[in-house]
């Protein structure tokens, strides 16, 4: 590969586990499924899938039921990881070497970049987002975020070609003492902004308060307590989802409500 065609970006740690991204995948299938189905030849990219190809394999399996025409491409900057993934290729699933330039034909309807930007400086995020969004097809979606090693806690930003649209928090509710436990999984654009005076800090503070106020519902289970807390939160914050997603341990808020000034 010549210097002019080198992948853009840096090799990640490569940590991966089966089912690590299940919460993100299920959200993508539910929220972005109609757009994928409406595309003539929908391509979904798993960008930076890591040392093993499980997340790309699982993305295909989770998108296929609602979008039989989808093609998933696993993109990795490390040639050894691409070589190791090739035995898992099959109809609908391919692997290529690349980075933020996203070297796939045409424009994908989905780019998922999970646990990729964690190693980058905060100042680099806006440029990477812009580069990736420029590769999207009209109606396409970039989903960028961070999760823990076994996928119990996950936070992601969804962006379309015009820029960031929403922030989603998702968790195995039994793993939380308070919703702000998810702060350690905020994406790079926000993780250093969880301080007093920043909108994302206020959002997590209010979610914690709603969770505390919903404590009487704990006897009915963590899900019922979460539903009550998020229902209360919806009176003060522009949430974009409803009980169907909240029951999955999720809450999604408009990006402009939580964004730091430089990334709105």
The two structure tokens encoding residue 29: 């299938």
For the segment 181-195, the average pLDDT, to the nearest whole number, is: 96
Residues with Cβ within 8 Å of 57's Cβ and at least 6 positions away in sequence, in order, are 88, 93
Q: Is residue 1 pLDDT above 80, yes or no?
A: no
- pLDDT tens digits along 74-131: 999 999 999 999 999 999 999 999 999 999 999 999 999 999 999 899 999 999 999 9
pLDDT in tens, 214-234: 999 999 999 999 999 999 999
Kindly report the pTM of this predicted structure: 0.95
Helices and strands: H and E segment counts in the chain: 10, 8
* Predicted pLDDT at 262: 53
CATH class of 1-161: alpha beta
Q: Where in the sequence of the chain do the CATH 3.40.50.150 domains occur?
A: 1-161
């Amino acid at each position: 590969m010549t210097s002019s065609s080198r992948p853009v970006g840096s090799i990640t740690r490569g940590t991966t586990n089966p089912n690590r991204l299940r919460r993100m995948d299920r959200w993508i299938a539910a929220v972005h499924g109609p757009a994928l189905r409406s595309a003539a030849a929908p391509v979904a990219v798993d960008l930076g899938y890591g040392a093993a190809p499980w997340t790309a394999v699982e993305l295909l399996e989770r998108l296929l039921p609602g979008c039989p025409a989808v093609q998933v491409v696993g993109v990795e900057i490390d040639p050894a990881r691409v070589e190791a993934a090739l035995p898992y290729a099959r109809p609908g699933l391919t692997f290529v070497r690349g980075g933020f330039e996203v070297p796939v034909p045409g424009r994908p309807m989905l780019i998922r970049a999970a646990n990729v930007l964690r190693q980058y400086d905060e100042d680099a995020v806006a440029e990477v987002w812009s580069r990736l969004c420029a590769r999207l097809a009209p109606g396409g979606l970039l989903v960028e975020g961070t999760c823990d090693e076994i996928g119990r806690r996950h936070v992601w930003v969804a962006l379309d070609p015009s820029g960031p649209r929403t922030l989603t928090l998702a968790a195995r509710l039994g793993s939380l003492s308070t919703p702000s436990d998810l702060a350690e999984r905020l994406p790079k654009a926000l993780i250093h902004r969880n301080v007093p005076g920043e909108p994302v800090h206020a959002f997590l503070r209010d979610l914690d308060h709603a969770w505390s106020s919903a404590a009487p519902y704990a006897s009915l289970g963590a899900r019922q307590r979460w539903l009550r807390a998020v229902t209360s939160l919806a009176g003060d914050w522009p949430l974009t989802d409803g009980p169907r997603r909240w029951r999955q341990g999720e809450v999604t808020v408009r990006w402009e409500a939580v964004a730091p000034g430089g990334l709105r």
